[in-house]
Amino acid sequence: MAIVDGFLFTLTFVTALGCGLIAGLFFAFSVAVMQALARLPAAGGMAAMQSINSTILNPLFLAVFLGTAAGCALVMITALARWHSPGSVYLLVGGALYLVGSLLVTAVCNVPKNNALASVVPADPDSAGLWADYLASWTTWNHVRTVASLASLSSLILGLCYWEH
C-alpha cells in the first residue's frame, strides 16, 4: 500500500507542477504576449498569432497540457477513492478546476477562435475587425484559463498538505 500511496502522492505533485507550468504560460500571454500583439498593425499581429498557434502545437506543450489533464482526472478518481482522507476535497476541486477552467475553456472558447483566425488572410483589409474581436475575446478567456490553472495548482497543493501517509 505504501508504494501505491507514494505513487499517488507523486502523481498529484507532478500534476500540480503541470498546472503551474500551464498557469505561467497563460499568464505570460495575458500580461505580455497579447498586449504586444495588440500594439502591432492588425496584419502583423494576426500573422504573429497564427504562427504562435501553429508553433505551440508541439509534443512538449501537448504532453504538459494534456498530461496535466490526465493527471487531474486520476487525482480526482484518487480523491473520490480516498474521500475519507483529509484534503480529498481539495484534490477533487483542484482537478475539476483544471479540467473545466483550462482544458474545457481551451477546447470550447480559445481553439475555435484560433481556428477562425487561421482561415483569415492577415493582409485582407476586412480582417482588422476580426482581429480586434479576437484580441478582446481570446484574451478574456485566457484570463479565465490563467486563474483556473492557478486555482487548480493552489487546491492541489492544499490537498498535498493534508495528505495522510
Q: For the chain, which residues make up each domain, given as ranges?
A: 2-161
Q: Tell me, what's the pLDDT at 48?
A: 98
Q: What is the mean pLDDT of residues 150-158?
A: 98
pLDDT band, residue 136 (cuts 50/70/90):
very high
Indicate if the pLDDT at residue 6 is higher than 60.
yes
Indicate if the pLDDT at residue 39 is higher than 60.
yes
Q: Tell me, what's the pLDDT at 2?
A: 76
Which one-letter DSSP state was computed for residue 164? -
pTM of the model: 0.94
For helices 127-161 and 111-118, give the axis angle rounded to 10 degrees.
150
Indicate if the pLDDT at residue 165 is higher than 70.
no
- The three cell numbers locating residue 88: 480529498
Helix residue ranges, H only, the chain = 2-28, 34-39, 42-55, 59-81, 88-98, 105, 111-118, 127-161
Q: Tell me, what's the pLDDT at 125?
A: 86
Q: What is the mean pLDDT of residues 6-27?
A: 96
Q: Tell me, what's the pLDDT at 13?
A: 97
Q: Tell me, what's the pLDDT at 1?
A: 62
- The three cell numbers locating residue 134: 479576437
